A and B are shown apart, each in its own frame.
Chain A
Amino acid sequence: MANTGSPCNAQPTLPIISDDKAHGQPLWLLAELTYKCPLQCPYCSNPLDFSDFGGELTTQQWLDVFQQGRDLGAVQLGFSGGEPLVRQDLIQLIGGAHEMGYYTNLITSGVGLNEHKMAEFQQAGLDHIQVSFQASDESVNNMLSGSKKAFEQKLKMAKEVKAQGYPMVLNFVTHRHNIDRIDRIIELCVELDADYVELATCQYYGWAYENVEQLLPTRAQLERAERITNEYRAKLAAEGNPIKLIFVTPDYYEERPKGCMNGWGQVFLTVTPDGKALPCHSARMLPIEFPNVTEMSLQEIWDTSPGFNHFRGNTWMKEPCRSCDEKEKDFGGCHCQAFMLTGDMYNADPVCAKSEHHHLIEEARERAEAVVNNPDEFTFRNERNSKVFAKG
């Protein structure tokens, strides 16, 4: 899920405490082990200026963070990136986390994986592997990932994940270039015997925001895809197939914002490759000073740091959120989206029809009707392009 830019869907469904500044436990710890990745997906959720952050925590620093997270109540641990397989110490990190009692999730492109490593990871205690795909057919997949061999490798690895008895989630980030093949995508997932399928319509953060014109589907494309997904759900359930299809709508076609991250600093904690602790993996872009795990304990970070308390409660709200009777439901939506689109992170998420900036979303929808698909217009996520956004 980490690659979708949709962290709001990447967490367990759990009760929320919404009293002023009160907060839950960081049940979900996402460890972005590295920003390095062999692929170049134009919707990657990593920061545009990732090339500015070269440092990575050591094995011991990561293990220490995991233990502190576990002590705070964290139970799900995601190994993400970039591509987590790039880390040569991944097996040690899996083993350590498993011993601490975490449910361990490897969120991977499958590139760099082989059956031997997979078996070793299982022995070390890895619970689940999520493989991301870019499309259901080879040419589109390889075009989007920027790799000629990616698709074949992914298929092979998905089959191996099941052969070794792991639960498997397949993640397809959908957008205007692949969403019309949703039937084929679902059929591929059924063939591969996936347990869960995330049909995650791109959310527009990081690189995806940069590429929004070439990614955002039209309303007609989206409605068709949702209808076909529902038809498959009914058909597969009738056949007794336990596969679960999770369809994530892009919030650009909503009139109310999502309750982002189940609330700021309520259940979710991300640690970036260089140790920055964030309440969601897009938050690095915000003009907030976030703490680093090398300088502060996780308990202090979670409970008392200004960064994690910034949007807890609702005293920060302006209108229309402040007087809105839905503020306990969506917490004003996504602060990153407000910041990217309006320049002010305290504004209501412009997805909300009550926002004075909602026209920005409506204009993006209108543009989606007129855009001609042209892969040449993608800004691919790679070191060279990142340097353009880096401060140096």
Chain B
Amino acid sequence: MSDIEITPALVPVLNKMFRFQWEKAQNCFVLLYPEGMIQLNGPAGEILALVDGERSVAAITSELETKFPDAGDLSGDIIEFLGEAHGQHWITL
């Protein structure tokens, strides 16, 4: 999906076209955009919740690995998701 290589030092930023928030009624994180909504699954929501324009890919990875110690090495999954999110124009890098 993505034409860009995701490296640990990159800092993802949420595209200002989207608003990210927790929706109680859906019981999930969502991305809101003009007249639409994307419901995010658990892992996608956890990753995007840390995309704040300050944390690097490496920082996001280590924070999630600390939060979910049983999940093991998450870097592959996170890079894959960020690549997809970039392809969807949800984030810029």
21 contacts between A and B (CB under 8 A): A10-B35, A12-B35, A12-B37, A13-B36, A27-B37, A28-B35, A72-B25, A73-B23, A73-B25, A75-B25, A75-B37, A76-B35, A101-B21, A103-B33, A103-B37, A128-B34, A128-B35, A167-B17, A167-B34, A195-B17, A242-B89
Give the CA-CA distance A27 to B36 in the complex, in Å.
10
Closest to A169 in B: B34
Q: In angstroms, how far is the closest chain B Cβ from the Cβ of A94?
A: 15
Give the CA-CA distance A24 to B89 in the complex, in Å.
29
Q: In angstroms, how far is the closest chain A Cβ from the Cβ of B78?
A: 23
A105 within 8 A of B: yes
A12 touching B17, Cβ below 8 Å: no
Q: In angstroms, how far is the closest chain A Cβ from the Cβ of B72?
A: 32
A78 touching B35, Cβ below 8 Å: yes
Give the CA-CA distance A10 to B34 in the complex, in Å.
10
A242 partner residues in chain B, CB cutoff 8 A: 89
B32 within 8 A of A: yes
With A165-B16, A167-B17, A195-B17 known to touch, is A75 a contact of B35 (CB < 8 Å)? no
B37 partner residues in chain A, CB cutoff 8 A: 12, 14, 27, 75-76, 103
Q: In angstroms, how far is the closest chain A Cβ from the Cβ of B31?
A: 10
With A75-B30, A242-B89 known to touch, is A169 a contact of B35 (CB < 8 Å)? yes
A196 within 8 A of B: yes
Q: Across chains A and B, which 5 residue pairs bring their CB atoms closest together, nearest first?
A: A73-B25, A103-B32, A128-B34, A12-B37, A12-B36
Q: In angstroms, how far is the closest chain B Cβ from the Cβ of A14?
A: 7
A78 partner residues in chain B, CB cutoff 8 A: 35
Q: In angstroms, how far is the closest chain A Cβ from the Cβ of B21?
A: 7
Interface string of A110-131 (1 = CB under 8 A from B): 0000000000000000011010
Q: In angstroms, how far is the closest chain B Cβ from the Cβ of A122?
A: 12
B17 touching A76, Cβ below 8 Å: no
Q: In angstroms, how far is the closest chain A Cβ from the Cβ of B39?
A: 8
Give the CA-CA distance A224 to B53 in the complex, in Å.
44
Interface string of B37-56 (1 = CB under 8 A from A): 10100000000000000000
B33 partner residues in chain A, CB cutoff 8 A: 103, 128, 167
Closest to A73 in B: B25
Q: In angstroms, how far is the closest chain A Cβ from the Cβ of B30?
A: 7
Supplied contacts A72-B25, A75-B25, 5 more A-B pairs, CB within 8 Å:
A12-B35, A14-B37, A25-B25, A76-B37, A130-B35
B23 partner residues in chain A, CB cutoff 8 A: 73, 75
One of A27, A73, A75, A130 near B34 (C-beta < 8 A): A130
A309 within 8 A of B: no
B89 partner residues in chain A, CB cutoff 8 A: 242
A128 partner residues in chain B, CB cutoff 8 A: 33-35
Closest to A102 in B: B32
B25 partner residues in chain A, CB cutoff 8 A: 25, 72-73, 75
Interface residues of B in 35-92 (CB under 8 A from A): 35-37, 39, 89
A11 within 8 A of B: yes
Give the CA-CA distance A13 to B36 in the complex, in Å.
7
Interface string of A1-13 (1 = CB under 8 A from B): 1000000001111
With A25-B25, A75-B30, A242-B89 known to touch, is A11 a contact of B35 (CB < 8 Å)? yes
Q: In angstroms, how far is the closest chain B Cβ from the Cβ of A298?
A: 14
Interface residues of A in 46-92 (CB under 8 A from B): 72-73, 75-76, 78
Interface string of A217-254 (1 = CB under 8 A from B): 00000000000000000000000001000000000000
B16 partner residues in chain A, CB cutoff 8 A: 165, 167
Interface residues of B in 6-33 (CB under 8 A from A): 16-17, 19, 21, 23, 25-26, 30, 32-33
A73 partner residues in chain B, CB cutoff 8 A: 23, 25-26
Closest to B23 in A: A75
One of B19, B26, B39 near A103 (C-beta < 8 A): B19
A103 partner residues in chain B, CB cutoff 8 A: 19, 32-33, 37
Closest to A71 in B: B25
Closest to B16 in A: A165
A101 partner residues in chain B, CB cutoff 8 A: 21
Give the CA-CA distance A127 to B30 in the complex, in Å.
15
A76 partner residues in chain B, CB cutoff 8 A: 32, 35-37
Q: In angstroms, how far is the closest chain B Cβ from the Cβ of A52?
A: 29
